[in-house]
A and B are shown apart, each in its own frame.
Chain A
Amino acid sequence: RKEVEQDPGPFNVPEGATVAFNCTYSNSASQSFFWYRQDCRKEPKLLMSVYSSGNEDGRFTAQLNRASQYISLLIRDSKLSDSATYLCVVNEGTAGNKLTFGGGTRVLVKP
């Protein structure tokens, strides 16, 4: 079983619509959680950290459910520029703070 699992998609989303997707993680001791965005052939870029109480950043909302060990990302009013791969990332709290990435969820926003 992968440590961080995501639906690879693609999620085909009409412009202006809302899209949401989850990821699950296996290590219950994981300490911090992130969503990174990756455009084709580019490096991952931090989209947002995910806090226990949930957090929002503009059109993006992230939720953490520790009991069920999943993280979600919701994108409202999708823009064409939101087309990307969204990587779910977990810091398991090891001394090195290494990150464990999911395989990514691809989102395609279409006019």
Chain B
Amino acid sequence: DTGVSQDPRHKITKRGQNVTFRCDPISEHNRLYWYRQTLGQGPEFLTYFQNEAQLEKSRLLSDRFSAERPKGSFSTLEIQRTEQGDSAMYLCASSPRKQGEMDTQYFGPGTRLTVL
């Protein structure tokens, strides 16, 4: 499967714990995005990378959230001191280099986080 992959698919944690999610984009896609989706809502942008550089962060991304893409390939999203309000689906997307296709984003299956 050459699509975007995310791991884990599900995570249940207790309030106050730290969690880390991983995203592997489609090979050679230089842009990688993180979104969050809560029940009944559309996905909301969190942050994006072009290669290894994190170029934009939403105000939704509090200080407890940090994302990295150290080698410009896979990315990790860490949430520290989780709160019940962090419960959501965390979606990763990537987009290709090709001119004209640059803004077509392909989504991974998501990581569903439940904070108890």
Inter-chain contact A43/B91, CB cutoff 8 Å = yes
Asked whether A26 is an interface residue with its Cβ less than 8 Å from the other chain, the reply is no
- Inter-chain contacts of A46 with B (CB < 8 A): 104-106
**Size bracket, chain B contacts:** 20 to 34
- Judge whether B42 and A87 touch: CB under 8 Å: yes
Asked whether, in the complex, the Cβ of A99 is within 8 Å of the Cβ of B56, the reply is no
B102 touches A (CB below 8 Å): yes
Say whether A61 faces chain B, with CB atoms less than 8 Å apart: no
- Chain A residues, CB < 8 A from B55: 95-96
Whole-angstrom distance between the Cβ of B92 and the nearest chain A Cβ: 9
Q: With A43-B107, A98-B33 given, can you name 10 additional A-B contacts, CB distance below 8 Å? A: A89-B42, A94-B56, A96-B48, A96-B50, A97-B103, A98-B56, A99-B105, A101-B44, A102-B42, A103-B42
Residues of B within 8 A of A (CB): 31, 33, 35, 40-45, 48, 50, 55-56, 91, 93, 95, 102-110, 112
